[in-house]
Amino acid sequence: MVQDRIIKTEYSEVMQKSYIDYAMSVIVARALPDVRDGLKPVQRRVLYDMHELGIRSDRPYRKSARIVGDTMGKYHPHGDASIYDALVVMAQDFKKGLPLVDGHGNFGNIEGDGAAAMRYTEARLQKITEEAFLADLDKDVVDFIPNFDETEREPSVLPVKVPNLLVNGSEGIAVGMATSIPPHNLGEVIDAVKAYMNDNNVTTRELMRYMKGPDFPTGGIVINKDELPGIYETGSGKVKLRGKVEIEKGKAGKTNVVITEIPYTMIGMGIGKFLSDVAALAETKKTQDIVDITNQSSKEGIRIVIELRRDADVNNFINMLYKKTRLEDTFGVNMLAISHGRPETLGLKAIIKECVDFQFEVATRKYTNLLEKELEKKEIQEGLIKACNVIDLVIEILRGSKDRPMAKACLVEGKTEGIKFRSKASKAMAAQLMFTEKQANAILEMRLYKLIGLELQALIKEHEETMANIYRYEDILDRRDAMSQVIVQELERFKKSYARKRKTVIENGEAAVFEEKKAEEMEVMFLMDRFGYCRTVDVPTYERNKEAADAENRFVFPCKNTGRVCLFTSGGQLHTLKAADVPFGKFRDKGVPVDNISNFSMDKENLIYAASQTELNLYRLLFVTKQSMVKVVDGGEFDVMKRTVVSTKLAEGDEVLSVEPLKDQKSIVLQSKDGYFLRFAVEEISAMKKAAVGTKGMKLGDGDCVEAVYYTRAGAEKIIEYKGKKIELGKLKSGARAGKGVKVRV
């Protein structure tokens, strides 16, 4: 029955187990590299597939689409985008210190332009990939595992002969963890490995005599040299990077600041962001030294030229670039990799140890396999040499036998029954032949030309070489020193062929300090329209366009360009912004949304009142809320440096209706939604702190709330229209605070 097959279980337990399974799958099988070969599964599968397709460095390029399709169909069924991305990154020399793929076509650039579609690009393996990553796969040096549908077999790890995890680094985001390993110099890493192999007790600091620190393909300068030992000891930390800056003489006595190398973290859209940040420094008047900015970068390298004024303080300007842009940045190091099947954060020495142990494991399997083959060759060679010494007898056995099994039985077991011999002596000698199975098969398959004297001499020489190989392989397998020497020789060969000079400079740089020139203080007019776009203009410009400015803008007031602007919201918040952050320009300039330069959000809050902080210091502010809470707060309380503070405390469901500076107001008039008007003297409102709720201003009925707030002044009539009826506020009956007021009939 169906009921018998229903399994009842706790939903949360199923979700927890499923999520853990998914997370571990992402961690181990997708996002993190293996410490032994430094490759993620997708990278390993792409390289192995190219090896299987025969796309070698000395053969023609093949379409990337072919490689991607074959990899996806055989080994990596997770979509073509991830496979092509991995192929592209392995071909980009500005991301990898040691590119593993030779790309032909548009494989993207350092400025962030992506690679062309896979149908347009071609690729093949780099020579070092064949020699150091894929060689010896036929010698049973690594385990092969079934692919996803068990129709193919793939290597669980590639027999990489250099510490690729350090050389090329790695970046990946898994579930709940991420890896970020910087690239290093191949020659230095090999020297560090040799130092470890010479002395397993070597410390991280001693290893760093050989491997100085990261060596980024983009060059740049690492400026926290003294912090690097701690980073490599623990496997995590922050590397501080700077771009390389040169100073050149420009035209007409001007100075050019030229960026020739960028921090590794600026690869991609970072260059465009840097250019826009530099332009913003000029637009916001943070510096007036910039005359022009040009990006002259090409295939030859990075060249960003910033032309400065004649009297510019160049060193101060460069320090400003370090402080205000990504020309100085940090690279977060987290050397997380898969070790023994689980994710682990490893220090420099631990990574080298894992790589060296793997090299010994691969070498052991390789030379064990080679030894077995040489022993097999030795057996066959000895059989052939022995057969050549009694070749007449062997021919007599072959001629006298009825079939192959009969001849083989005689050669192996000495059985002579049924074989015709010329003499009894021959038969007696044949009975004493004791060849092995493999030797007998080799003899039966031997061709007649092997009997030529030169061929026999070649066979003897080949046997001597085989014996020498056997002795060498046994020595390598028996003595760790001998195996260590073989590994070191291979490493030295790779260093000689592929090592390059270091690009990144390692030093203890001084902290960038620059003196920000203070803007000349002046009074400007702050303008904000009803859509929240704000700007500042000089006072003469405002005076010439006063009528239009007042009509078109919701808030218009004077402020100092060095001061702050205060924004009061219905939610009881005070947001402040620097007047210097507000664009200064022409009257018809649009400005910028106030959301962009402050914490205020027009989508979430209503703006009640705006004023300069200087003006607030001169007055007291009167707050009125919808639930009729009123209070007076000294404006000095709002002279704060924080971008957002509480301007008044609100009861649940309440909101600020009005904020007004007290100047010459005599009385306040509160109008409720139900048509009640209450007029009372402003002096009746208590002065309180901004954190207070306030006191009751008007007694409200159930469901009623304050809808509008008016003020009367001495000697001035105030007439409003309420539901079509004109009301002179000064003639309303004066009451006391917290009264109900009078009902206006309409």
Q: Which of 52, 39, 35, 215 is nearest to 130 (CA)?
A: 52
What amino acid occupies position 676?
Y
Q: What is the dihedral of CA 360, 363, 365, 369, to 10 degrees?
A: -160
Phi and psi at residue 37, to the nearest 5°: -110, -5
Other beta carbons within 10 angstroms of residue 484's beta carbon come to 18
Q: Cα–Cα distance between 193 and 400 in angstroms, integer?
A: 64
CB-CB contact of 156 with 145 (8 Å): yes
- Count the Cβ atoms, other than its own, within 10 Å of residue 61: 14
Q: Which residues pair with 633 in a beta bridge?
A: 621
The DSSP H or E segment spanning 17 is helix 11-26
Nearest to 305 by CA among 290, 283, 320: 290
Residues in a beta bridge with 257: 247, 306
Q: From CA 690, how far away is CA 686, in angstroms rounded?
A: 12
Instruction: Convert 160-178 into a string of H (helix), E (strand) and C (coil).
Output: CCCCHHHHCCEEEECCCCE
Q: Which residues contact 383 (CB under 8 A, 6 or more apart)?
A: 435, 436, 438, 439, 440, 442, 443
Is 87 in a helix, a strand, or coil?
Answer: helix
- Asked whether 644 and 564 are in contact (CB, 8 A), the reply is no
What b-and-e string marks burial along 102-113, b requiring 16 or more CB atoms within 10 Å of the CB?
Answer: bbbbebbbbbee
Query: Which residues lie below 8 Å from residue 625, measured CB to CB, with a gap of 6+?
Result: 648, 650, 651, 654, 655, 656, 657, 694, 706
**CA–CA dist 399, 452 (Å, integer):** 20
Count of residues making up the chain: 746
Classify each residue of 695-734 as buried b or exposed e, where b means 16 or more C-beta atoms within 10 Å of its C-beta: eebbebeeebbbeebbbbeeeeebeeeeeeeebebbebee
In degrees rounded to 5, what are phi and psi of residue 520?
A: -65, 125
| Active site positions, annotated | 120
Which residue's entry shows tokens 């409200």? 700
455's CB contacts (< 8 A; 6+ apart) are 449
Which residues fall within 8 angstroms of residue 680, CB to CB, at 6 or more apart? 667, 668, 734, 735, 736, 737, 739
Burial profile 555-580: b = 16 or more Cβ within 10 angstroms, e = fewer: bbeebebebbbbbbbbbbbbbbbebb
Token representation of residue 459 = 């066979």
